[in-house]
Chain A
Amino acid sequence: METRQSHRLGTGVNWLKHRLVVIAGLLTLGYLLLPNVVVTVFSFNQPKGRFNYDWQEFSTAAWTDPCGVADLCGSLSLSLQLAAWATLGATALGTMIAFALVRYRFRARGAVNSLIFLPMAMPEVVMAASLLTLFLNMGAQLGFWTILIAHIMFCLSFVVVAVKARVMSMDPRLEEAARDLYAGPVQTFVRVTLPIAAPGIAAGALLAFALSFDDFIITNFNAGSTVTFPMFVWGSAQRGTPVQINVIGTAMFLVAVLFVMAGMLIGNRKKKHKA
């Protein structure tokens, strides 16, 4: 009896030992997702005071009226516009740089590479502060345009890295084949090069959009009196957080999950088609 029990205990310990990585990993995943769960749960709360920190009462009021707070949806649409333009700008400029870096040997390549790397290795607050110094010295009016300039600047490097990785793994023989089949340079680029580079460009664009939409530190320094969505959330931490913020946080999470899942499904189907 005793031996059997110790044997069972032994297998228990073995089971635990075998699953240790899985258990630890899942605990980390829980840590990572806990705030999202809290945000979702508290989007159904009806807080008594100005702050939404304690659970009071179930209510769907905020979900039926997400724009019910002054300036909230205005700041949200401003952030979406900024992110869209910043993505467009950074993706265009970054893709061009990536192609130049991978496809051509030229002088000062090393210097260009370091200039691309530096913004990623710099604490945001340093970039934010120095950019503000420039704008103050130039007497620029802080607002939409200064935010956009800043966002394109810090998204650029991330796009370059994402596109570079894809272009580097491209087989140059495909383009040579297109040229051998009498495709002009433009036709080769549009019909062959661009479709192959597209996943890298898309990844860079998605990253730029997420970085720009979520940026607080650089925006805080260079926005003047313009209020983007992260700045609205920041302000609300002092003034009192409306439940609508949780509604939008939850919706963003769901949209992101659906979006990425759809992308993966499409990718899988394409792979199956090829096979």
Chain B
Amino acid sequence: MSTLTEVEAPPPLAPVPTAKRPRKRGRWTPYLLLAPGLVWLLVFFAMPMVYQASTSVQTGSLEDGYQVTWHFATYWDALSEYYPQFLRSVLYAGSATILCLLLGYPLAYLIAFRAGRWRNLILILVIAPFFTSFLIRTLAWKTILSDGGPVVGALNTLHVLDVTSWLGLTAGDRVLATPLAVVCGLTYNFLPFMILPLYTSLERIDGRLHEAAGDLYAKPFTTFRKVTFPLSMPGVVSGTLLTFIPAGGDYVNAELLGSTNTQMIGNVIQSQFLRILDYPTAAALSFILMAAILLMVTVYIRKSGTEDLV
């Protein structure tokens, strides 16, 4: 993959010399530059993880205080009680990621190759919603998918809802408070995180490669399958990661657009921490989520063979 890119990439216009001159002064400069930011990350990112690890093996109560008792059974209890929510998180986040890829690829392709002078405007329209609060936009989906609304009406007339109900994605004539609504919200919320990396990697592709493929009698689809898509793999990998990871931990969509039957693991962690105040269980759950996601990401990166590209 990477060798292909190296061989076929056009020569850079102004070669930048990479040989670094040895610096005489400032042996301590890098450390001084790093220190403030690293201290911040160590104290407020790494240390909290340690605290959380210790919390997850504590027992006790809010009134009497907690002690570290190495009570690992919390993990087992949490997992056996909340595995449906874990499964749902993987399922919903996975579906949203696939939908994002299917929906996002044409738009990224359009911006990179077909938009011409509209390119900047479309890019702005993709980025601008970032600046409107995502909660306001997610609430707007409540209006769009409302029971008597035009979308649900149209889906009903086309008998789509009969099929989705049979598949268990919707319930009766409703879309709100069903898995379909949650996946729709997740897809919508993380779509820009898919489009932007895809666009960046598509934009880097040399147009001459497409011409060459055409000259060799490749049909447009063959060109896409053999040239464009493989070269956009870095964007596909980082886009799917940027979509799947936050979607797996999200609880906003499941809360606003779903019901108690569509709760994801984020919802459980949130309510354990902020409402039920069962800190050991909450800490164990969030550690399981973290481990599961890191594991899946590592396997995925290995499988897609793009370790050096992420």
A residues apposed to B, CB below 8 Å: 21-22, 24-26, 28-29, 31-36, 38-39, 42, 52-54, 92-94, 96-97, 99-100, 103-106, 112, 115-116, 118-119, 121-127, 129-134, 136-137, 149-150, 152-153, 156, 160, 169-173, 210, 213-214, 216-217, 220-221, 229-230, 233-234, 237, 241, 245-246, 248-250, 252-253, 255-257, 260-261, 264
In the assembled complex, the Cα of A93 lies from the Cα of B269 at a distance in Å of 31
Q: Could you give 19 example pairs across A and B, Cβ below 8 Å?
A: A24-B103, A25-B107, A26-B107, A32-B125, A33-B125, A35-B141, A36-B128, A38-B140, A123-B246, A126-B286, A127-B48, A134-B48, A210-B130, A221-B273, A230-B133, A237-B139, A246-B136, A256-B132, A264-B124
State how many angstroms separate the Cβ of B137 from the closest Cβ of chain A. Answer: 4
In the assembled complex, the Cα of A103 lies from the Cα of B191 at a distance in Å of 34
Closest to A241 in B: B139
- Complex interface: chain B residues within 8 A of A233 (CB): 133, 135-136, 139
- A220 touching B130, Cβ below 8 Å: no
Residue among A29, A115, A213 making CB contact with B41, cutoff 8 Å = A115
In the assembled complex, the Cα of A119 lies from the Cα of B292 at a distance in Å of 16
- B132 touching A152, Cβ below 8 Å: no
Within 8 A of A (CB), among B5-44: 14, 16-17, 20, 23, 29-31, 33-34, 36-38, 40-42, 44
- B14 touching A171, Cβ below 8 Å: yes
- B144 touching A34, Cβ below 8 Å: yes
**Chain A proximity mask over B40-61: 1 for CB below 8 Å, otherwise 0:** 1110111111011001000000
In the assembled complex, the Cα of A258 lies from the Cα of B286 at a distance in Å of 40
Contact of B78 with A by CB under 8 A: no
Contact of B79 with A by CB under 8 A: no
- A153 touching B130, Cβ below 8 Å: no
Closest to B134 in A: A214
Contact of B169 with A by CB under 8 A: no
State how many angstroms separate the Cβ of A136 from the closest Cβ of chain B. Answer: 8
Contact A93/B36 with A35-B141, A129-B52, A156-B41 known, Cβ cut-off 8 Å: yes
- Complex interface: chain B residues within 8 A of A136 (CB): 279
- A129 touching B273, Cβ below 8 Å: yes
In the assembled complex, the Cα of A171 lies from the Cα of B14 at a distance in Å of 9
In the assembled complex, the Cα of A125 lies from the Cα of B122 at a distance in Å of 32
Contact of B172 with A by CB under 8 A: no
In the assembled complex, the Cα of A255 lies from the Cα of B133 at a distance in Å of 13
- A96 touching B44, Cβ below 8 Å: no
Q: Which one of B16, B106, B252 has the greatest number of beta carbons of chain A within 10 Å?
A: B106
State how many angstroms separate the Cβ of A27 from the closest Cβ of chain B. Answer: 8
In the assembled complex, the Cα of A54 lies from the Cα of B139 at a distance in Å of 12
Closest to A37 in B: B140
Within 8 A of A (CB), among B126-174: 126-144, 146
- B106 touching A129, Cβ below 8 Å: no
Closest to B288 in A: A126
- A123 touching B124, Cβ below 8 Å: no
State how many angstroms separate the Cβ of A28 from the closest Cβ of chain B. Answer: 4
- B286 touching A36, Cβ below 8 Å: no
